[in-house]
Amino acid sequence: MVKKKHTLTLTSHKKTIKAGYQERLSDALLRAGLPMNLFCGGRGVCGKCRVRVVEGRLSPTTENEKTFQAVKHWDTRSRLSCQANVTGDLKISIPPESLVSSVLDPGRAGIPEFPLNPAVKTYLISFHPPTLASPLSLEEICKKSLRKKSIRFVPDVLGKASSHLKDEAEAVYAVLYKDRHVLDIGFYETVYGFAVDLGTTTIVLELVDLVTGKTVAADAFLNPQTRYGADVLSRITYASSPEKNKELQDMVIQEVNRKVSSLIKKYGIRQEAVFEFCISGNTAMNHLFLGLPVQTLASAPYHALFSTMSDLSASSIGLNGNPQARVYIVPNIKSFVGGDITSGLTAVELLKEKGRFLFIDLGTNGEIVLKKGVRFTASSTAAGPAFEGMNLSCGTLAVPGAITKIWHDGKIRFETLDGKKPSGICGSGYIDLLAVLMENGLLDKDGKLLTESKRIELAEKVFLTQKDIRELQLAAAAVKTGIGILLYENRLSPKDLDAVHIGGAFGSYLNIRNAQKIGLIPGLPISKIHFRGNTSLEGCRLFLLSYKTRNKVSEAVSRIRYLSLASHEGFQDRFIRALELG
């Protein structure tokens, strides 16, 4: 144990903490409960954990820090907490954007119609207390009342239910799972479930009334695992030992528990009334959620531990709800195409519709699924997090102040989220900007800026550089190449497609024409291109409310062919060609 002999005064938080000599500053801050934004996993490459030295000194400035100081016009007192070590007593201030905070509102898209048939249902039971003449057991009474002989009990439920035998005046309900297992007996006029979109970056919870099928409330928050890296791979790297694997699992489960309990408290719902969780996440996220090792996902031949998981009890993974609450994990397609895509395909009804469709989920990884008749081909492209604003000099997620739309009317104009002062540019903003620059002859198809300064200023400290354009070209090319190879392998051209469905990160801000102009989306008539918002969440809610869909989906998913783009022989040439904008 290193002795913590130095005192750090956080002027921004009116707080003092202790740190050891040569201790990494971010470690000391995290330990003190400050959720530093270690997006890149502490590699010093995202510049999101900046602190400012008010008094005192840190270890010498690293090359990475010097780069950020130069590019972002930070003064030399601005340091990256993941790079600097404590060498003595210190006064620092931490800007709010260096701390992890809640982001985004859950998107809402038109959902397909389906019969309400949740796995968890509640039935009113009439208790006829046992008589001396016919001393029926509680179990028999329930079966009789529910008119179902095949139902099953666990001892705990019967034990708890026995107390209700005396409450003849009250309406007592039996909560059944898949019309077979009694989860509880009690005052459950309404029961609830949660649809959980377990995103790599953002987690969205939706509290759903399982009796009416209506959404009661929703909450979106940052996946707490992001402090160990923005992308899936850095988290897999972090989960290198069973202990760290467990740490990542605990972290996300506890955060979900916290958000669940604050949401139900707000609506006056008891924890016992929560009976099911549907989890829709990519393969690595759902493996980590279950505490399963993830190493095989990150090394050739890149395989998962499961595609379809049996239903679980929530308590077995530490989720809070009714003691008998269940968990359904939306099945994965393959290691790089997970349950979130299964949900997406379900939400856009691709699993049953006839025709030729393309489904694109644009996030850190761009997953693409092509449907031709009854055949599905799925693929994943390492687009990188550029469209989420990472690795770009002024990139940001769609948070208040982010520039979401850009247009030109003789002058470049923009709009920010919530009309706040511009603080950065988000994915949809960058796409608009590239399109606008091309239209105005300031950017050529090769991605070369034709302006004298090689830099486009939008607002104070918000700008676009030549290097940003290169990053965006790479990200767009990855998606374009993926689409191109899937079409090629299925002997289709874009015009053969009946529709393109787009889900994921961009939400409603993406301008389709501009996305087509830079070549990100195939050039089809706009009427054929549909924005579906957060399809992972939409599909997840559908599974929660219509459990028969689950049986079909496992079978459908097992038929989807996975195509590895990186090992496709045409990949390199196509990728290089796809770098051209348009």
Contacts to other proteins by CB under 8 A? 41, 43-45, 62-64, 229, 233-234, 236-237, 295, 298-300, 382, 384, 446-449, 454, 466-467, 470, 473, 564, 566-567, 571-572, 575-577, 579-580
Q: How far is the CB of 474 from other proteins (least distance, A)?
A: 8
- Round to whole Å and give the CA distance between 158 and 185: 8
Task: Estimate to the nearest angstrom the gap between the alpha carbon of 121 and the chain centroid.
Answer: 28
Tokens, residue 477? 């090319």
Q: How far is the CB of 434 from other proteins (least distance, A)?
A: 14
Nearer of residues 357 and 575 to other proteins, judged by Cβ: 575
- Round to whole Å and give the CA distance between 531 and 527: 11
> Among residues 265, 270, 266, 260, which one has the least CA distance to residue 207?
260
Nearer of residues 302 and 306 to other proteins, judged by Cβ: 302
Q: How far is the CB of 62 from other proteins (least distance, A)?
A: 7
Cite the DSSP H helix spans in 16-137: 25-31, 63-71
Residues 22 and 85 sit within 8 Å (Cβ to Cβ): yes
Q: How far is the CB of 300 from other proteins (least distance, A)?
A: 5
Report the 10 Å Cβ neighbour count for 74: 17
Q: How far is the CB of 226 from other proteins (least distance, A)?
A: 15
- Round to whole Å and give the CA distance between 76 and 265: 46
Nearer of residues 45 and 99 to other proteins, judged by Cβ: 45
Q: How far is the CB of 505 from other proteins (least distance, A)?
A: 20
Strands 499-504 and 424-425: unpaired
Nearer of residues 46 and 403 to other proteins, judged by Cβ: 46
Nearer of residues 124 and 576 to other proteins, judged by Cβ: 576
Residues 370 and 357 sit within 8 Å (Cβ to Cβ): yes
Q: How far is the CB of 125 from other proteins (least distance, A)?
A: 53
Cite the DSSP H helix spans in 113-241: 138-146, 155-161, 232-238
Residues 372 and 355 sit within 8 Å (Cβ to Cβ): no
Q: How far is the CB of 170 from other proteins (least distance, A)?
A: 57
Q: What is the torsion angle, in degrees rounded to the nearest 10, for the CA atoms of residue 155, residue 156, residue 160 and residue 165?
A: -10
Nearer of residues 237 and 308 to other proteins, judged by Cβ: 237
> Among residues 467, 455, 468, which one has the least CA distance to residue 426?
468
Q: How far is the CB of 302 from other proteins (least distance, A)?
A: 8
Strands 326-329 and 312-313: antiparallel
Q: What angle do CA 424, 429, 431 make, to 5 degrees?
A: 135
Nearer of residues 188 and 228 to other proteins, judged by Cβ: 228
Q: How far is the CB of 398 from other proteins (least distance, A)?
A: 24
Residues near 165 by Cβ (< 8 Å), separated by ≥ 6?
127, 129, 138
Residues near 494 by Cβ (< 8 Å), separated by ≥ 6?
487, 522, 523, 524
Nearer of residues 63 and 409 to other proteins, judged by Cβ: 63
Q: What angle do CA 460, 467, 474 make, to 5 degrees?
A: 125
Nearer of residues 440 and 572 to other proteins, judged by Cβ: 572
Q: How far is the CB of 228 from other proteins (least distance, A)?
A: 11
Tokens, residue 181? 């297992």
Rounded to 5 degrees, φ, ψ at 506 are -70, -20
How many angstroms separate the Cα of 458 from the Cα of each of 70, 249, 404, 463, 467?
19, 41, 12, 5, 16
Nearer of residues 56 and 570 to other proteins, judged by Cβ: 570
Nearer of residues 217 and 576 to other proteins, judged by Cβ: 576
Rounded to 5 degrees, φ, ψ at 561 are -85, 135
Residue owning tokens 């003190």: 32
Residues 129 and 156 sit within 8 Å (Cβ to Cβ): no
Q: How far is the CB of 298 from other proteins (least distance, A)?
A: 4
Nearer of residues 229 and 281 to other proteins, judged by Cβ: 229
Look at the alpha carbons of 370, 104, 336, 488 in this order and tell me if their dihedral is positive or negative.
positive
